[in-house]
Amino acid sequence: MTKLFATTALIATLAMPAYAIQPAEGETLAENQTYTYWLLDAIKSLDPAKNTDVEGSDALRSLFEGLMIEDASGAMVPGMAESHEISDDQLTYTFKLRDANWSNGEPVTAEDFVYAWQRVVNPETASEYAWYMELMNIENASAVVAGEMAPDQLGVRAIDDKTLEVTLSKPTPYFLNTLSHTTAYPVPRAVVEEHGDAWTQPQNLVGNGAYTLASHNLGVEIVFQKNPEYWDAENVLMETVRGVTVNDNNVALTRYQAGELDRVQIPAGQFPRLSEQFPDQAVSVPYGCSYAYVLNLSEKGPEALKDQRVREALALGLNREVIVDQVLQGGQRPAYSWTHWAINGFAAPEGGMAGMSQEERMARARELLAEAGYGPDNPLKLQLQYNTDDSHRLLAIAAQQFWRPLGIEIELNNVEWKVHTDRLQNQDFEVARYAWCADYNEASTFLDWFRTDGYNSGKWSNEEYDRLLAEAATAEDTTPLYQRAEEILAEEVPAVFVYHYAKVDMINPAIKGLPRENLLNTWYAKDLYRTAE
Amino acid sequence: MFAFVLRRLAVAVPTLLLLIVFSFVLMHMAPGGPFTGERALPPQVLANLEAQYGLNDPLWQQIWNYLYGIVVHFDFGPSFVYPDRSVNQLIAAGFPVTLTYGGLSFVAAVVLGVSLGVVAAIWHNSWVDYMAVGISIGAQVLPNFVMAPLLVLVFTLWYRLLPGGGWSFTDPSFWIMPVIALATSYMASIARITRSSMLEVLGSNHIRTARAKGMPEHRVIIRHALKPAMLPVISYLGPVFVSMITGSVVIDIYFSTGGIGKAFVDSALNRDYAVMMGVTILVGALTILFNLIVDVLYAWIDPKIRY
Amino acid sequence: MVIDQTKMQSLSDRLVQDEVKGRSPWADARRRFWKNRAAMLGLSILVLVALFAILGGQFAQWSNEELDFSVMGQVATMGAPSLENGHYFGTDNLGRDLYARVVQGTQISLMVGIVGAGIAVIVGTLYGATAGYVGGRTDQIMMRTVDILMSIPYMFVLILLLVMFGRSMSMLFLGIGLISWLDMSRIVRGQTLSLKNREFIEAARATGVSSFRIIIRHIVPNLLGVVAVYATLLVPLMILTESFISFLGLGVQEPLTSWGALISEGAGTMNYGTLWQLLFPLFFFVITLFGFFFVGDGLRDALDPKER
């Protein structure tokens, strides 16, 4: 049964309080409303408190819903929270929850949020994302995470079944933006307590999202079915969503071409060919992640890197245009700032390296290295560490070749992910590949990384930088502060920024509703539908 | 015979023990642990996690607890990386898959390999023989990580005959490509061994005698030649079985079958100690069992062998 | 892919018998080997591949790590094999010269094969000879240990070793070599047992030569036939193992490469119009394995002739 949606769509849009994607005029819905997407690997956990990766978040967005959700452009729209009020001191947020049910028919209450958030910060849960509640600046979050306070001291409480009050430790302009993150999702207390860790298995899992978990065969596929209990179920068109694991990207592309998948990532270097062959399917949109070579400036790091001139020469010598245009070839952009170019309200500082030609950069780099006492006669020897992945490998090889003419000899050291992160955290590296993805659409999500107390694997530290970011947390106009912070990064080069990500995918043109303007590329299966040929 | 089986089983226990201790120590010496993530965990959280999984005990204590859990409760512990699954569940989900396509590949490799070898030996030095030898040598050296993506390309994209991956116990169309990719090179090895051993047997005195008595050729082959010619093939089956389990890594990666091969490699890379140990013990036990079966089979076919 | 142990056993029995009859198996064997057409073909292939590995670099116009910027980014159209731009085998995905990389990969793969087989043969021979020569309880314990070790899933242990200690050439050699000395040690032990009570050994023992010297000077040389055949057949197995390890991403470090790494890269891009990236390394891989098989089989047949 296919039905024409021309008129009903209009009515639905008008009647809808919240936002939902509906078929455009003239589109016919396909009979089979199934969306099949690609997963590189098995999803590790479906517990909102334990999930740490993108694939897990994609799945959780179908199974649960937070106070806020995002629309196609990434803007916040009400999810579980119908409305909210902010106190004058900007420290107290009061949310009014809508009438909604869990998939077992129980109502979603403010208590479910309180339980879930306390569970995240409770050291007994051992959530790897407990820091997220600290990022949200919820009162006492840090103390609870550190085990100094009981979890019920967290600044969140249920005033009644439908009213949730959150207290912050300081005014946080981005607070509402953090609410759509999977870590801030509610969980059903009774179910969690009944099944323990096994509560996220298909037969046990109870969620408040648009879909229920039909099956989860690790390493094979995960299947979601539309949840009739979902508050907005009548506007959900997609009936079934399948995540199919294919460990090899090239085979995944073959299977996409055979019609088995509706969306798949395009392997490095294949975008130009595919976009020529399939212009309506190959899609490249900006994606809020930045790639860098972090330099170890800690005591354990090499002496040479402590010389600012050497670091600057490394930054100058890396031919980012070639990396982007000839290696990745998927609409990525060269990075001269740490913050992704498309981040909301961010403008990269003028001038600097970005304006120079590669010849000028190389000449300048030679000068700097000569001043620092290095050159072809006295080569600078460094080790570049990267984790196992095809595109990291390609980039590392290219970087090695770019730096060679400057008399910099790079030894490549490929290690697996666990070793890589372990060494990063312990400063056991010289130069290491790293990438950071935005948690929310604001520059501080990137810039916080280099704060003295940030992740900052290279242990760079700058007082002015720290002060600027502290100021920005409460400032009205953050743009000049962030610009100055980026200028400091460009001067001191704690890391060589390489490129800003793009999400480069093949997408079945029959699938509508996948957001293309959302920098974080979060998508909600409930917004999707499949049109007939 | 019975005493032999018993003795071999007695050796199995120290073998497994050695394997467990060795893997355990190796695993814990590796840099990074199961909870090494992109962001360093707060010390309190890490301490809790380690306490939860008993990682803060001394190593010998951990090994002891682990063995105790297995022997007393047959419990291989929880997965460190997939918190909602236990190792028992993961193996219960993955092993039947590996066993299904592995078993089918095994049968296919033996049946086709032996047939090809016998045919080649009977028509020795004819074009049939040359073809069989050519096929078997070619198939033997083509790595299955080349064959697997090629199969997907041909059967899924070009001819649209078979699903490109996934698994179902009820739909054989999911089994075909894994079995082809896994069985081919073993089939080729078996064919080569069968052929040369068959040739040897056919040239031996008792076959000449049988022929001289006027026995029809097909009876000579089936009744007298096949059985002794199978001996080298049988001694090869143990190693085949083990390498098939190892080779299943490739199958799981390319065909998303969700077997234990991929689970093992992942667990080693993710430092999922419990899963890694579980799979190692399982495969070790199977190896021992299979070597035993092969030896018994061997003794049964060749009465000259006494244990 | 495994060595036919039954035939190895038959070979070693035969060699011991010959020794008993006081006849050298070598002269006849050499004649038979030269007459074996498949073995000769295999040998010529191996010689050519070895020459390619040693001298091939002389003819390369690019190094194995240089990026050709004129090709980079348009490998499918510009990177095909060509005499004009000096990329005889085309380029890889980054625009590196595939010819130079295949030469270098050949060196690594041959080295892994030969060193790995070498380690297996040395360990296996010494272990087996010691067990057989010393005999008694020592022999019992040593051979039980072999039984135990035989039941260990080696590929798993190798993966663990590489994951735990990081990837390095020496680990690769060691790990691959240590996989396959067990069968060797069994055969050698059997042969040593038969040699042990022969007159020349008795004589040596009577004059007070130490056990170690007897093993090295008198037993091992007499095992040469078996060892040579076994080693030849082991090399391709080692090369195959290395290719599997490379496929798992645990092989040699960039910019070095091996056949396994090149083939697995090429296999990934086989549908993107750059088929040469798969075919050239695969060609060398396949013919070399053929070569070793033919030579190994030929050697064995020459030393252990049967009516075929």
In this prediction, residue A15 has a pLDDT band, given cuts at 50, 70 and 90, of very low
Nearest 5°: phi and psi at A225?
Answer: -120, 145
Q: Are C72 and A322 within 8 A, CB to CB?
A: yes
Q: Are B146 and C282 within 8 A, CB to CB?
A: yes
**pLDDT digits over C250-270, tens only?**
888 888 899 999 999 999 888
- B-chain CB neighbours of A46 within 8 Å are 84
Asked whether the predicted pLDDT for residue A8 surpasses 60, the reply is no
In this prediction, residue A210 has a pLDDT band, given cuts at 50, 70 and 90, of very high
**Cα–Cα distance between A307 and A297 in angstroms, integer?**
9
The answer for C 283-302 residues in CB contact with B (under 8 A) is 285-286, 289-290, 293
Distance from CA of B108 to the nearest CA of C (A): 16
In this prediction, residue B273 has a pLDDT band, given cuts at 50, 70 and 90, of confident
**Cα–Cα distance between C46 and C288 in angstroms, integer?**
6
The answer for B 172-231 residues in CB contact with A (under 8 A) is none
Distance from CA of C91 to the nearest CA of A (A): 14
Residue A94, token pair as written in the block: 């009061």
Residue A469, token pair as written in the block: 């970011």
Q: Are C166 and A419 within 8 A, CB to CB?
A: yes
Both ends of chain B: CA-CA distance in Å? 6
Q: Give CA separation, A387 vs A326, A391, A393, C259, in Å.
A: 22, 10, 8, 22
Of B81, B156, B253, the CB nearest to A255: B156
Interface residue C142 vs chain B (CB under 8 A): no
The structure's pTM equals: 0.89
Interface with C, mutate which of A397, A404, A418 (most C CBs under 10 A) = A397
Report pLDDT for C44. Answer: 94
Report pLDDT for C253. Answer: 84
Interface residue B153 vs chain A (CB under 8 A): yes
Q: Are A219 and B94 within 8 A, CB to CB?
A: yes
What averages of pLDDT result for each successive group of 10 residues across chain C (308 residues)?
Answer: 69 70 68 86 94 90 85 83 87 90 94 90 90 87 83 78 77 80 85 81 84 82 81 87 87 88 91 90 92 86 67
Q: What is the DSSP letter of A26?
A: T
Asked whether the predicted pLDDT for residue A202 surpasses 90, the reply is yes
Residue of B nearest to A196 (CA): B84
**Cα–Cα distance between B66 and B74 in angstroms, integer?**
10
Name the 3-class secondary structure at C254.
coil
Quick check: A337 and A349 in contact, CB under 8 A?
yes
**pLDDT digits over A402-447, tens only?**
999 999 999 999 888 888 888 888 899 999 999 998 888 888 889 9
Least Cα distance to A326 among B258, C70, C188, B273 occurs for C70
Residue A160, token pair as written in the block: 């009644």
Report pLDDT for A35. Answer: 95
**pLDDT digits over B180-217, tens only?**
999 998 898 899 888 888 888 888 887 888 888 888 88
Of C255, C272, C273, the CB nearest to A397: C255
Q: Alpha helices, DSSP H only, in A122-199? A: 131-135, 141-145, 189-195
Report pLDDT for A11. Answer: 34
**pLDDT digits over B19-50, tens only?**
888 888 887 777 777 777 767 777 777 787 78
Of A146, A201, A250, the CB nearest to B42: A146
Interface of C with A (CB under 8 A): 65-67, 69, 72-73, 75-76, 93-96, 163, 166-167, 249, 253-255, 268-269, 271-273
Interface residue B94 vs chain A (CB under 8 A): yes
Quick check: C268 and C77 in contact, CB under 8 A?
no
Q: Are C282 and B284 within 8 A, CB to CB?
A: no
Quick check: C185 and C131 in contact, CB under 8 A?
yes
Interface residue A414 vs chain B (CB under 8 A): no
The answer for A 16-55 residues in CB contact with B (under 8 A) is 41-42, 44-47, 50, 52
Distance from CA of C11 to the nearest CA of B (A): 13
Distance from CA of A374 to the nearest CA of C (A): 22
Residue with tokens 């300048």: A364
Size of interface A-B (CB pairs under 8 A): 142
Own/partner pairs, C174-178, CB within 8 angstroms, 24+ separation:
C174/C119, C176/C112, C176/C116, C176/C119, C176/C238, C176/C241, C176/C242, C176/C245, C177/C115, C177/C116, C177/C117, C177/C118, C177/C119, C177/C120, C177/C123, C177/C238, C178/C119, C178/C120, C178/C123
- Give percent above pLDDT 70 in chain A: 96
To 10 degrees, the CA torsion angle through A327, A330, A331, A333? -30
Q: Which of A404-408, A501-505, A510-514, C215-219 has the lowest mean pLDDT?
A: C215-219
Least Cα distance to A166 among A77, A83, A64, A86 occurs for A86
Asked whether the predicted pLDDT for residue A133 surpasses 50, the reply is yes
Interface residue C161 vs chain B (CB under 8 A): yes
The predicted model gives A297-316 an average pLDDT of 93
Own/partner pairs, B110-116, CB within 8 angstroms, 24+ separation:
B110/B190, B110/B233, B110/B237, B112/B183, B112/B187, B112/B191, B113/B186, B113/B187, B113/B188, B113/B189, B113/B190, B113/B191, B113/B194, B113/B233, B114/B190, B114/B191, B114/B194, B114/B230, B114/B233, B116/B187, B116/B191, B116/B194, B116/B195
Of C2, C282, C290, the CB nearest to B239: C2
Q: Alpha helices, DSSP H only, in A270-356? A: 271-277, 308-317, 320-322
The predicted model gives B299-307 an average pLDDT of 64
Least Cα distance to B198 among B258, B140, B118 occurs for B118
Q: Which of A269-278, A292-301, B63-72 has the lowest mean pLDDT?
A: B63-72
Q: Which of A182-196, A453-467, C4-18, C56-70 has the lowest mean pLDDT?
A: C4-18
**Cα–Cα distance between A348 and A277 in angstroms, integer?**
35
Asked whether the predicted pLDDT for residue A7 surpasses 60, the reply is no
What number of helices (H) and strands (E) belong to chain B? 12, 0
Higher-confidence position of B295 and B145: B145
The predicted model gives A360-373 an average pLDDT of 92
Report pLDDT for C308. Answer: 40
Burial A68-101 (b: 16+ CB within 10 A, else e): bbbbbebebebbbbbebeeeeeebebebbbbebe
Determine how many CB atoms are found less than 10 A away from the CB of residue C57.
15
The whole-chain average pLDDT of chain A stands at: 89
Size of interface B-C (CB pairs under 8 A): 127
Interface residue B166 vs chain A (CB under 8 A): yes
Of A147, A257, A421, the CB nearest to B37: A421
In this prediction, residue A4 has a pLDDT band, given cuts at 50, 70 and 90, of very low
The predicted model gives A149-178 an average pLDDT of 91
Distance from CA of A449 to the nearest CA of C (A): 28
Quick check: A398 and A323 in contact, CB under 8 A?
yes
